[in-house]
């Protein structure tokens, strides 16, 4: 019995050694250079994030503005790139006249002087709207951006043509598979070099259609994000990646990062080999909403030589800190 236990103990130690050597970052190749910085919606007005729901009108709970940029505009995107962003995230909605509008909200009522479901309007109609109409930081006493956002809602075509060599993350706001088909057609009309600089994420159904129709585009959906994260935590120690982790985007809550096998360098090397871009986001606590890496305290939780992606709502602050 003693000899048998000894062999079992040696086997356990050998297995543990193999797992350690296969996952330690000490033996992994470290990618030099600064992190890849993603500016969420360009440079945007911040808002009170307490008890957010899907239908919360964030423009009505704007914090006192520090600048005059409005999210998802050409001007805010350019400012984001100028501030140091490598990638800018934008939100899209299909329009009734066959285009894609760059706008966050499912309806127009919160942020603009328009009304109704965004996708039920033409781009020509939405070009007439004031997208700064609904912003207030004092409960509706003043509206500092009214009349300053008229005609500022861009199309996806305008964004792609304005930033022909920049990296974009496109957020599909619906669960409509036909929207995935329409967006795939637009993306397939771009050059292979341009498509390589675009990632698309959103609802499971439209993202699945994009995977089928534009398979070279890196994508992420709720299902793939959860599948990649949980699968990797479950058996990533083997070095085998879940299918959801390949040719994709992976969002890693910063409080989950230490649980990832090989974090940071071994993990990042595996994802790069799978053509998957990793972005670390703020901590996730099960509430359905996660912030970005938005201040020095949060940034300091990353390894000092971290070279993956960082998702931020405060690109100016984070870019200066990274420098």
Does the predicted TM-score (pTM) go above 0.85? yes
Q: Would you state the pLDDT for residue 284?
A: 82
Task: Give the separation between CA 109 and CA 15, rounded to whole angstroms.
Answer: 59
Cα 292 to chain centroid distance, Å, stands at 9
Q: Would you state the pLDDT for residue 18?
A: 58
User: Which ranges of the chain does DSSP label H, i.e. alpha helix?
Assistant: 2-23, 74-83, 123-126, 156-162, 177-188, 192-195, 204-213, 222-235, 265-273, 296-299, 315-322
- CATH number of this structure's domain 33-322: 3.20.20.190
Q: What is the pLDDT along the chain (323 residues), one digit of tens a residue?
A: 667 766 566 666 665 665 666 687 666 677 778 999 999 999 999 999 888 888 899 999 999 999 999 999 999 999 999 999 999 999 999 999 999 999 999 999 999 999 999 999 999 999 999 999 999 999 999 999 999 999 999 999 999 999 999 999 999 999 999 999 999 999 999 999 999 999 999 999 999 999 999 999 999 999 999 999 999 999 999 999 999 999 999 999 999 999 999 999 999 999 999 999 999 999 987 655 568 999 999 999 999 899 999 999 999 999 999 98
Q: Would you state the pLDDT for residue 286?
A: 64
Cα 298 to chain centroid distance, Å, stands at 17
Q: Would you state the pLDDT for residue 1?
A: 61
- Collect all residues with Cβ–Cβ distance below 8 Å to 233 and sequence separation of at least 6: 256, 259, 260, 261
Of 158, 106, 110, give the one whose Cα is nearest residue 132.
110
Q: Would you state the pLDDT for residue 219?
A: 98
Return the number of other C-beta atoms located less than 10 Å from residue 36's C-beta. Answer: 17
Helix 204-213 and helix 222-235, axial crossing angle in degrees, nearest 10: 80
Task: Give the separation between CA 282 and CA 227, rounded to whole angstroms.
Answer: 19
Q: Would you state the pLDDT for residue 216?
A: 97
Task: Give the separation between CA 323 and CA 321, rounded to whole angstroms.
Answer: 5
Cα angle 165, 168, 172 (rounded to 5 degrees) comes to 145
């Amino acid at each position: 019995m003693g000899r048998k236990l000894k062999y079992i103990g040696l086997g356990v130690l050998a297995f543990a050694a193999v797992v350690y050597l296969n996952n330690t970052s000490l033996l992994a190749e470290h990618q030099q250079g600064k992190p890849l910085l993603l500016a969420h919606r360009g440079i945007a007005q911040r808002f009170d994030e307490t008890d957010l729901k899907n239908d919360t009108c964030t423009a009505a709970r704007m914090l006192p503005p520090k600048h005059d940029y409005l999210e998802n505009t050409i001007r805010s995107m350019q400012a984001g790139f100028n501030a140091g962003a490598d990638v800018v995230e934008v939100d899209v909605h299909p329009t009734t006249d066959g285009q894609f509008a760059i706008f966050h909200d499912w309806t127009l009522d919160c942020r603009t002087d328009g009304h109704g479901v965004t996708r039920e309007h033409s781009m020509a109609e939405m070009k007439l709207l004031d997208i700064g109409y609904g912003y207030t930081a004092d409960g509706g006493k003043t509206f500092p951006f009214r009349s300053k956002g008229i005609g500022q809602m861009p199309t996806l075509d305008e964004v792609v043509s304005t930033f022909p060599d920049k990296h974009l993350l496109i957020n599909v706001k619906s669960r409509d598979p036909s929207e995935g088909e329409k967006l795939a057609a637009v993306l397939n009309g771009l050059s292979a070099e341009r498509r390589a600089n675009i990632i698309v994420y959103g609802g499971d159904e439209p993202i699945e259609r994009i995977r089928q129709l534009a398979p070279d585009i890196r994508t992420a959906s709720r299902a793939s994000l959860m599948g990649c994260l949980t699968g990797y935590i479950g058996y990533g120690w083997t070095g085998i990646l879940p299918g959801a982790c390949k040719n994709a985007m992976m969002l890693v809550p910063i409080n989950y990062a230490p649980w990832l096998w090989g974090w940071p360098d071994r993990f990042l090397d595996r994802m790069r080999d799978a053509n998957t871009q990793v972005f670390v986001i703020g901590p996730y606590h099960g509430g359905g909403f996660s912030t970005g890496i938005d201040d020095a305290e949060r940034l300091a939780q990353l390894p000092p030589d971290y070279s993956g992606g960082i998702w931020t709502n405060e690109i100016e602050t984070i870019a200066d800190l990274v420098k």
